[in-house]
Structure 1
Amino acid sequence: MPSERDRRQARVTSGLVATVIFLTAIAPLATDMYVPAFPQVAGDLSATATQVQLTLTTFFVGMALGQLVGGPVSDQRGRRRPLIAAIVLMAAASVVCALTPSIGVMMAARFVQGFSGGWAMVIGRAVIVDLATGARLVRLLNVVAGVGGIAPIAGPLIGAVILQLSHWRMSFWTVAALGVAMVVAALAAVPESLPPERRHGGGLRAFAVAGRQVLANRRYVGYLVVSGSAMGALFAYVATSAFVLQSMNGMSPVAYSVDFAANAAGMTVAALVAARLAGRVDTRKVILVGQIAALAAGVAMLTGSLWFGTPLLLAVVCFLVLMTAQGLIGPNGGALASAEVPEHPGTGSAILGFVQWVAAGAIAPIAGLGGEHTAVPMALLIVAGAAASMLGLLVLARGQKLRPGEESGLNQGRDHAGRCR
Structure 2
Amino acid sequence: MRAPSPRRLTLLLGALSAIGPLSIDMYLPSFPSVARALGTSVAAVQLTLATYLAGLAMGQLAYGPLSDRFGRRAPLLAGLALYAAAGLACAAAPSLAFLAAARFVQALGGCAGLVIARAVVRDRFDVRDSARLYASLMLVMGAAPILAPLLGGQLLLLGGWRAIFGVLAAAGLALAAMVALGLPETLPRERRQRHGPGEIVRALGEALSHGPFVRLSLAGGAVQAAMFAYIAGSPFVLIELFGIPPARFGLVFGANAFGIIAASQLSRFLAARRGVMPPLRAGVAAAVVGYGALFAAVHAGGGLWLVLPGLFLGVASYGLVAPSATAAAMEHFEARAGSASAVLGVLQSTAGALAATAVSGLADGTARPLAGVTLACALLAAALLWAEGVSASRRRAGTPG
Task: Identify the TM-score tier after normalising by the shorter chain.
Answer: 0.7 to 0.9
The 3-state SS of whatever aligns with 2:331 is helix
Could you say which residue in structure 2 is the equivalent of 1:89? 82
- Structure 1 residues 116 and 227: CA distance shift in structure 2, 3 A: same
Measured after TM superposition, the shift of residue 126 of structure 1 is 4.8
Quote the offset at 1:371 in angstroms: 3.3
Q: 1:17 to 1:336 in 2, by over 3 A?
A: closer
* C-alpha displacement of 1:104: 0.4
2:384 is matched with 392
Q: Distance in 1 between matches of 2:12 and 2:284?
A: 34
With over 3 angstroms needed to count, the CA separation of the structure-2 counterparts of 1:212 and 1:196, relative to structure 1, is closer
Q: Summarize the Cα distance change of 1:338–1:402 in structure 2 as closer, same or farther, 3 Å threshold.
A: farther
Query: Paired residue for 2:298?
Result: 305
Corresponding residue of 2:38: 45
Q: Which amino acid aligns with 1:273?
A: L
1:33, 1:58 → 2: CA distance? 16
| 1:70-113 CA-partner distances (Å, limit 9, x unpaired) | 12123334444433332222111111111111110011000100
Query: Matched residue of 2:307: which SS?
Result: helix
Task: State the match for 2:106 in structure 1.
Answer: 113
How many residues in Structure 1 have an aligned counterpart in Structure 2?
A: 394
* Structure 1 position 343, deviation (Å): 7.1
Deviates more, 1:290-299 or 1:393-402: 393-402
Alignment gaps of 5+ in structure 2: 397-401
Q: Deviation per CA, 1:138-195, whole angstroms, max 9, x where unpaired? A: 5876655543332222212211222233312111011012123233333433456667
Q: 1:228 aligns with which of 207, 221, 226?
A: 221
In the alignment, the residues of structure 1 paired with residue 195 and residue 201 of structure 2 have an alpha-carbon distance, to the nearest angstrom, of: 10
From the superposition, tell whether residues 15 and 300 of structure 1 become closer, same or farther in structure 2 (CA, over 3 Å). Answer: closer
Partner of 2:357: 365
Query: Structure 1's 126 and 144: CA in aligned 2 closer, same or farther, altered over 3 A?
Result: same
- Give the one of 304, 314, 320 matched to 2:312: 320
Contact 1:243 1:372 (C-alpha < 8 Å) held by counterparts: no
Give, in whole Å, the separation in 1 of the partners of 2:181 and 2:383.
47
The question of whether the paired residues in 2 share the 8 Å contact of 1:72 and 1:203 is answered with: no
Residue by residue over 1:192-235, the C-alpha shift from the partner in whole angstroms, topping out at 9 and shown as x without a partner, is 66676664322553343233333444333322331121111111
Whole-angstrom CA distance in 2 between matches of 1:305 and 1:277: 33
CA shift for structure 1 position 39: 1.9
Alignment of 1:232-247 (within 5 A): 232-247=225-240
Aligned to 1:166: 159
Structure-1-length-normalised TM-score: 0.82
Shift of 1:313: 1.0
C-alpha displacement of 1:342: 6.2
In structure 2, the CA distance between the partners of 1:285 and 1:87, relative to structure 1 (3 Å rule), is closer
Partner residue, 2:141: 148
TM-score (norm 2): 0.86
Q: 1:356 matched to which residue of 2?
A: 348
* Displacement of 1:114: 0.5
DSSP 3-state at the match of 2:392:
coil
Which of 190-199 and 110-119 deviates more? 190-199
Q: Which amino acid aligns with 1:172?
A: F
Moved more, 328-337 or 342-351: 342-351
Partner of 1:335: 327
Using the TM superposition, name which of 110-119 and 335-344 deviates more: 335-344
Residue in 2 that maps onto 1:382: 374
Kept after mapping to 1: 8 A contact 2:229/2:359: yes
The one-letter code sitting in structure 1 at the alignment partner of 2:352 is A
Residues 223 and 397 in structure 1, CA contact (< 8 A), matched pair in contact too: no
Aligned to 2:193, the other structure's residue is in SS state coil
Partner of 2:178: 185
Is the partner of 1:371 in helix, strand or coil? coil
Residue 238 (structure 1) shift: 0.8
Amino acid at match of 2:247: V
Distance in 2 between residues matched to 1:285 and 1:253, nearest whole Å = 38
| RMSD value, Cα | 3.2
The one-letter code sitting in structure 2 at the alignment partner of 1:353 is G
CA–CA distance in structure 1, aligned partners of residues 211 and 188 of structure 2: 37
Cα 1:80–1:223 change in 2 (3 A) is closer
Unaligned runs of 5+ in 1: 1-7, 405-421
Residue matched to 2:399: none
